[in-house]
């Protein structure tokens, strides 16, 4: 018996695709932007929760259509899109959780991390010309990465400091000190196409042999600092693991410095 919560979603799928025989269905509402229904262990239907999420979904479909052939890992390809959902084939694999990676055999770890580096190298070298404009990119924007970071620091001081202990506030000030004094140049990069949400559950691995089988959820991808992607990996896996992608992806000292800042700032983003 299917979960009753599935019914509103299944009704919309049936209305759009009456010939589809739905044998099994699984609902996941954990996502911040979309509810996801997996049908017959083969088709993914993503239902945007807000109008902003719907706009992101249209953008993501256009972006993936433009870049999928350049990437060495499988990414979703939207096959059908309505006002209610976007549909694509299920990308096979299990999330690359930290414990799963560290529990794998050394040769499997090396293989997956090398493939992850190759994916990042291909993504970050994708030409920006001809790609769709992200919905959040407005004409005439002149905000710098430094100004965004300092605005966030003010929010942290106002909203989080009342809830933090003295040592925690000291950690925040230490994190932002090189941004404040200019020794860390957050704007010292050439914009590249970045994923911008490389959480462990967006990186998929498959067995036989263990490999990076896919990367999903490109709704926040767009021009940006490659250090953002590396920072997300640092936050999830730690620096000793991330440094192992250097065989297939160059990790400069300046990039790592920015990535370390982004990894720390990510914790504050979640807290905010």
Taking only the tens place, the pLDDT of each residue in 190-239 is 999 999 999 999 999 998 889 999 999 999 999 999 999 999 999 999 99
Burial environment of residue 264 by CB neighbours within 10 A (0 to 12, 13 to 18, 19 or more):
middle
Q: Residue 170 burial by CB count (10 A; 0-12/13-18/19+): exposed, middle or buried? A: exposed
Per the listing, tokens 């790609």 go with 131
Q: Which tens digits make up the pLDDT trace of 180-196?
A: 999 999 999 999 999 99
Q: For the chain, first and last CA: distance in Å?
A: 40
pLDDT digits (tens, 9 = 90+) for 6-65: 999 999 999 999 999 999 999 998 888 999 999 999 999 999 999 999 999 999 999 999
Residue among 215, 214, 220 nearest 197 (CA) = 220
């Amino acid at each position: 018996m299917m979960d009753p919560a599935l019914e509103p979603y299944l009704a919309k799928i049936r209305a759009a695709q009456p010939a589809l025989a739905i044998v099994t269905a699984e609902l996941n509402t954990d996502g911040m932007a979309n509810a996801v229904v997996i049908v017959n262990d083969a088709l993914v239907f993503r239902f945007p929760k807000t109008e902003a999420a719907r706009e992101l979904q249209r953008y993501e479909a256009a972006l993936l259509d433009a870049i999928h052939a350049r990437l060495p890992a499988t990414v979703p390809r939207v096959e059908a899109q309505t006002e209610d959902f976007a549909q694509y084939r299920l990308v096979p694999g299990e999330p690359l959780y930290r414990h799963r990676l560290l529990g794998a055999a050394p040769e499997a770890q090396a293989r997956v991390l090398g493939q992850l580096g190759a994916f990042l190298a291909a993504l970050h070298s994708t030409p920006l010309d001809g790609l769709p404009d992200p919905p959040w990119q407005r004409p005439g924007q002149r905000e710098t990465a430094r100004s965004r970071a300092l605005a966030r620091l003010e929010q942290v001081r106002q909203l989080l400091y009342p809830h933090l202990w003295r040592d925690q506030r000291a950690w925040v000030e230490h994190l932002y000190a090189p941004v404040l004094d200019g020794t860390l140049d957050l704007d010292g990069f050439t914009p590249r196409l970045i994923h911008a949400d490389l959480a462990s559950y967006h990186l998929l691995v498959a067995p036989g042999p263990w490999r990076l089988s896919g990367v999903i959820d490109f709704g926040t991808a767009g021009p940006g600092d490659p250090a953002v992607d590396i920072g997300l990996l640092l936050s999830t896996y730690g620096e000793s693991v991330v440094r192992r992608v250097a065989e297939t992806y160059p990790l400069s000292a300046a990039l790592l410095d920015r990535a370390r800042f982004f990894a720390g700032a990510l914790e504050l983003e979640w807290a905010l």
